[in-house]
Amino acid sequence: MLLAALLTPFIRQLAFKVGAVDNPNARRVNKIPMPTMGGLAIFLSFNLANLFLLRNQYPSSQLYSLILAQLIIIATGVIDDIYELKPRQKMFGIFLAALVVFFVAKVRMTTLTLPFLGVIPLGWLSFPITIIWILAITNAVNLIDGLDGLATGVSIIALTTSAVTGYFFLNVTNTFVSIMMFTLVAALIGFLPYNFHPARIYLGDTGSLFIGFMMAVFSLYGLKNATFITIIIPVIIMGVPITDTVYAILRRWLNNKPISQADKHHLHHRLMQMGLSHRQTVLVIYGIALIFSFISLLYPLSNLWGSVLLTVATLLGLELFVELIGLVGDGRQPLLDGIKKLVLMTSARERCDRDKEDRHK
C-alpha cells in the first residue's frame, strides 16, 4: 500500500513525459488532459512486495512465470496508453500472456464436476476454455474503466471477496493465492486516493488490463478442478464487469453494430444519463459490487438446490435492474413488459369478477 502511494506521483510525471495522456473527446468524461498508465505503479508495488517481502510464501516457478505473463500484459497496456492499439492488437497481447499462464505456469482448468454427471475430464478442451476465460475477464475489467476510481474500487471489492472466499470457504490448498490477492488489494488501496474523483491519474489500459488479467488468473486456481459452485462464485463476484460486458455485446448485436465498436451506453454512462453525478455513479456501482459480493458469500453456505434458486433469483433481479436503467437500449424490456401484461390481465380478471358479482346482486 505504501509502495503504491509513493510510486504513483512518479508514474504520473512519467506518463506526461512519454505521452501517455488521455485528451478530452466525445467519449471521455475528462475535461482536461489526464495522465494514464497508473497501473504501472500498481504492478511495480505488487511485484516488489512479492519479490522482497513475500517471496518465501510462493512457489518460485509460479511466482516467476506469473511475472513473465504480467510483463507481457504491462507492455501491451503501456504501448496502448501511449500509441492506442487496435482491439485485435490488444487481444493478441492478452493471448500471449494467457499462453504463458497455460504452458509455463501450468494454471488451467483440467476437470469439470457437474451434479448428477460426476467428474468430466476436459482433455483438449482445457486449452480453449482457459484461454477464453482469461480473455473474457481481462476485457470485462477493461470495459468498466470509464470513471474516476470505478475499476479500482470494484476490483478492490471483488479481489477481497475472492481472497476471503478462497481461503475460508473453498478449502483451496494454494493459500499463497489468497496472499497474492490481498497484496494486490493493498496496492490498489494505495493507488485509489490518486484515482478517485477528481482523479489526478488514470489506471489506463496498463492498469485495467493488468488487474483484469490477475483476477482471471487468480480465479483459475479455484477452477482447476471446476464444480458448479467454484464456477458460479467468481462469476458472481465479478458481476459488475461481466454484466456490463455481456449486455454491451448484446446491445451492439441487437443494434447491428460491431461488437468492438465503443459507445456511451455502458453501466456508468446510463447512470450518469439518469442524472447521477460522477461521484454518485461510482458509489452506486460500488454498492452493486458489494451486493454481488454478499450474494457470492451465500453459495458456500447453501446446498445444490439453494445455490440454483439463489442463481435464478440473482439473474431475475439483475435483468429487472438492467431493463429499468435501459442498459440494452430504450424499449427493450421483455421481463418488465411481461410483468406489466400479467398485472393488467390480473386486474382485468378481478374487474370482470367484480362485475359478475354486481350483476348477480
Per the annotation, does 142 bind a ligand?
yes
Give the separation between CA 161 and CA 310, rounded to whole angstroms: 18
Q: For residue 88, what are the CA distances in angstroms to 104, 350, 359?
A: 24, 57, 71
Q: Contact, 35 vs 272, CB < 8 A? A: no
Give the separation between CA 356 and CA 246, rounded to whole angstroms: 49
Give the separation between CA 130 and CA 116, rounded to whole angstroms: 24
- The phi and psi torsions of 238 (rounded to 5 degrees) equal -95, 35
The cell for 50 is: 512479492
Q: Contact, 322 vs 247, CB < 8 A? A: yes
Q: Supply the angle between the helices 228-237 and 278-298 in degrees, to the nearest 10.
A: 160
Per the annotation, does 171 bind a ligand?
no
Residue type, 87: P
Residue type, 351: R
Query: Could you tell me which residues are annotated as the binding site for Mg(2+)?
Result: 142, 205
Query: Could you tell me which residues are annotated as the binding site?
Result: 142, 205
